[in-house]
Structure 1
Amino acid sequence: MKNCLLAILILFFVSCGSDDNNENCLTKDYTEDNDQEIQNYLESNNLEAEKTNSGLYYIVEEQGTGAQPSSSSRVRVNYKGYFLNGNVFDQNKDITFGLGQVISGWTEGFTYFKEGGSGKLLIPSNLAYGPCKYSTIPGGSVLIFDIELLEVIE
């Protein structure tokens, strides 16, 4: 009986051990690290970006001439999402969604563009999926999106 109890106890501690994908990841703050990573990325790629008070960086390549969305607008867009190392994790063409239903980096970022506009959003983890792993996105990841705002649907 003692051996059985010891085996169960060992199994419990092994299965509940430290893992960046569980509640232990919530103690890590990536804000300063992400900001430095974004600045390094911009410098090494010879890019200039605007930084907002929230920590979002954006680059307007084409401002656009149509309607400008608010944070509660529905929009139709093309996008490609990738990490700082260039690995693509998601992309979509002609997709429609509400800006209130997405990561806060998108909710804020798309409001800097008008219909027909395009550019980049460099989103620190606190404006994306946070310090914990989400699907294929490692915790604390900076996300970059090439975006094109096709239409604002009020």
Structure 2
Amino acid sequence: MKNYSFALLFLILIASGCQQADQGPCTEPVVSIKAHYEDITTLKQYIDSSHIAAKFDERGFYYTIDAPGSGKKPDACANVTVNYSGKLTNGKTFDSASGISFYLNQLILGWQEGIPLVGPGGSITLYLPPSLAYGSQDQNDIPGNSILVFKIDLVKIN
């Protein structure tokens, strides 16, 4: 009986230690991953053929800042509240939400890199190549190797 009690106590201590570690400070570096050359080329063709006036970011995505927002911009460790919609290049909306919160370091690379370009109250449209989104894997209604277009309002940094 003592062995079972000790084992249960040990498991509880390990589980509570893991929970505490997950709540510790984020030490993620600034994201600096670049998209694949082929993805950048395909994305540029889409931007040009659609006559989109977007800025190119050296990490391999395009964006338009619809409103810059104000105040401190989020970093890779920030918890942010956003409104967003995600579309495929054919215009089909595959996801949207309002008032949803995320830690940036838990999101796709394109969001980690793009959202910090605006402050709270800001709005940005991100044009992401597959290598900064979901890559070659199908994700629900998103076919693999898809260019994604996200309209994101940064409501606040939590």
User: How does the TM-score come out when normalised to structure 1?
Assistant: 0.74
The answer as to 2:124 corresponding to 1:119 is: yes
Q: Any residues of structure 2 matched to 1:75-94 within 5 Å, and which?
A: 75-94=80-99
Q: In the aligned structure 1, how far is the partner of 2:120 from the partner of 2:72?
A: 5
Indicate conservation of the 8 Å contact 2:40/2:61, yes or no: no
Pairing 1:36-51 to 2, within 5 Å after superposition = 36-51=41-56
Q: CA deviation at 1:45?
A: 3.8
| Residues 99 and 56 (structure 1), Cα distance of their counterparts in 2 relative to 1, 3 Å cut | same
Structure 1: give runs of 5+ residues left out of the alignment. 1-29
SS at match of 1:114: coil
- Is the 2:115–2:124 contact (alpha carbons within 8 Å) kept by the matching residues of 1? no
- 1:136 aligned to 2:141? yes
CA distance in 2, matches of 1:141, 1:111: 23
Distance in 1, Cα, partners of 2:153 & 2:70: 13
Quick one: percent identity of the two aligned structures?
Answer: 35
Aligned match for 1:60, one of 50, 62, 65: 65
- Which runs of no fewer than 5 residues in structure 2 stay unpaired? 1-34
Corresponding residue of 1:27: none
Once the two structures are TM-superposed, the CA of residue 144 in structure 1 deviates from its matched residue by 0.5
SS at match of 1:95: strand
Aligned partners of 1:68, 1:56: CA distance in 2, in Å? 19
TM-score (structure 2 length as normaliser): 0.72
Q: How many residues align?
A: 124
For residue 10 of structure 2, what is the aligned residue in structure 1? none
Q: Is this contact kept in 1: 2:89–2:149, CA < 8 A?
A: yes
C-alpha distance in 2 between matches for 1:91 and 1:145: 9
Indicate the RMSD between aligned Cα atoms, in angstroms.
Answer: 1.7
Residue among 56, 79, 90 paired with 1:74: 79
Question: CA–CA distance in 2 between the matches of 1:101 and 1:128?
Answer: 12
What is the match of residue 5 of structure 1? none
Larger RCO (CA under 8 A, 6+ residues apart):
1
